[in-house]
Amino acid sequence: MADAPLVTPPDPSKAMDDRWRQTHLGRLLGHAMRRFDERVLHLMAHNEGVPLALSNLAARDQISAAHVHITRHLAIEGSRLTDLAQAAGMSKQAMGDLVDQCTAWGLVQRQSDLQDARAKRVVFTADGLAWLQAFKDAVAQAEAEFRDAVGQDVATVVALGLEAYAH
């Protein structure tokens, strides 16, 4: 019986360059989105138009980017839970949990759907509309900070590229 040939371990100096795993586009987009959302939530927590209870929740990191899905996707006239979940790319159950939390915090409420008596619509409360305005203000400021950080030309190219890629 012949001895098996010895396998030489790879030379570490010739190992494959794996920096791409940290710098590929998807990872950079994910980091950028988290940074942007964190900044938006920070600005919202310090917005004088936000009801104090909501501001305190945001300041203590009790409101997360997941809760912002409701802010981003809930139609002004209200939305059915299934439509809201689909728009946010979440399961109906996960969105239902978020809506329950946001209802408890006074951001939204459930109302009967006038077009389907069996269905409910999720709608903003007055405090929720104040939260939505704070979201709008925070997004505008975070976008301005992005433009200041990378320059107007780069910011424009990034925005156009992301818009084209997303659709």
List, as one string, the DSSP characters of 21-75.
Answer: HHHSHHHHHHHHHHHHHHHHHHHHHT-TTS-HHHHHHHHTT-S-HHHHHHHHH--
**pLDDT at residue 133 in the model:** 93
Q: Are the beta carbons of 109 and 123 closer than 8 angstroms?
A: yes
pTM of the model: 0.78
**pLDDT at residue 15 in the model:** 63
| DSSP H or E run through 107 | none
Phi/psi for 35 (5° steps) reads -60, -45
Q: Are the beta carbons of 106 and 125 closer than 8 angstroms?
A: yes
Q: Which tokens sit at 19?
A: 């920096």
**pLDDT at residue 71 in the model:** 85
Residues in the chain with pLDDT < 70? 1-2, 11-15
**pLDDT at residue 56 in the model:** 78
**pLDDT at residue 12 in the model:** 65
For the chain, the C-alpha Rg in angstroms (whole number) is 23
